[in-house]
Amino acid sequence: MSKDYYQDEEFEGFEDFEEMEQELYEENEEWEPDTEEEDDDREPRRRRHHRGLKIFAGILVVITLALAGIIYGFRLEEVRVIGNKNYTVEEIKSLMGFPEDAPNTLFVYLRFFRYKVKDIPFIDRIDVKIENRNMICIEVSEKDILGCFKKGKTYFYFDDSGVIQESLSEKKEKVPVIRGAKTGNLEIGAQISMEDQNVCHGIMELGHLLLNHGITAEKIEIDENKHFTVYINDNIRAALGTPVLLEEKTSELANILPELRQMEESEQICGVLHLENYDSTKNSIIFTKEN
């Protein structure tokens, strides 16, 4: 084989090598832009990550400040109870389960603002309100206690609708005991039942009138003739007769009672105010001394 042949082969191989080198270089050129694009993507990603951390930290600071404001800015300093007549302030709070050392106005309000009354005699509803950031107001809506009946050693107390609300072994102050009325079974939650409906209506009407006029009585007695007598205390009583014109009779009793109380203290009088024959004239009103 001639020398020229080997030279031509060697030359062609060199050209092939240059072509391969050129191809590799071009491929590398194509790869380099991909690396730059990845670097460009990482940078915005890092920025977004740092921005997210800053936002989270800011939210955390705001929440912390808000909680601190609630805890320290809404310290409960005063609890006011209004509308209660049959229960004392402490009794109302105890019946509700109201904490004595409640630290925070908002926390207490959230706990009790939907408070529902269950099995508490003579209470319709209890509303809890925020008066200001340091004071809670407990507003009580109570039913009036008109009187009670005594059966054996138990007192059955009824409300202004004639429903038995409570039974106790003791008599409450300022609540009259009804004596002489023939009642049916007395059960808590049940309406008063009587043989004579006129007497029943008379008891309910008289009970309302005594409350409206602010007259406190120890006892209301009904005799066999269905005549009503109101015992103010052991010394003074008012004979009202049958349950007619009760509003007028009770009004006169309220007008005269302060004078009778004054005479009771100064002269130790004891007697009966007669209103059985009341006819809207002063002549029909008589007080009879008994000592």
Q: What is the pLDDT of residue 11?
A: 43
Q: Hey, which residues does 100 pair with through a beta bridge?
A: none
Q: What is the pLDDT of residue 133?
A: 86
How many other C-beta atoms can be found within 10 angstroms of the C-beta atom of residue 1?
6
Q: Hey, which residues does 142 pair with through a beta bridge?
A: 123
Q: Hey, which residues does 111 pair with through a beta bridge?
A: none
Q: What is the pLDDT of residue 167?
A: 95
Both tokens assigned to 252: 């006169």
Q: What is the pLDDT of residue 262?
A: 92
Report the C-alpha gap between 230 and 248 in whole angstroms.
15
CA distances from 215 to 127, 211, 286 (A): 29, 6, 19
Q: Hey, which residues does 156 pair with through a beta bridge?
A: 149, 167
Report the C-alpha gap between 194 and 81 in whole angstroms.
37
Report the C-alpha gap between 38 and 223 in whole angstroms.
107
- Read off the pTM: 0.71
Report the C-alpha gap between 190 and 207 in whole angstroms.
18
User: Tokens 């940078």, residue?
Assistant: 43
φ/ψ of residue 164, rounded to 5 = -70, 120
Q: What is the pLDDT of residue 2?
A: 45
Q: Containing H/E element for 210?
A: helix 197-212
**Which residues of the chain fall short of a pLDDT of 50?**
1-14, 17, 31-32, 35
Q: What is the pLDDT of residue 38?
A: 52
Strand locations in 176-265, DSSP E? 177-179, 219-222, 228-231, 236-241
Taking a C-beta distance cutoff of 8 angstroms, is the pair 81, 90 a contact?
no
Q: Domain extents for the chain? A: 1-73, 78-142, 145-289
Domain 145-289: assigned CATH number: 3.40.50.11690
DSSP state of 104: B
Both tokens assigned to 281: 């004239």
Angle between helices 246-267 and 197-212 (to 10 degrees): 60
Report the C-alpha gap between 100 and 114 in whole angstroms.
19
Q: What is the pLDDT of residue 6?
A: 41
Q: Strands 271-274 and 154-159: what pairing?
A: unpaired
Residue 90: strand, helix, or coil: helix
Taking a C-beta distance cutoff of 8 angstroms, is the pair 175, 157 a contact?
yes
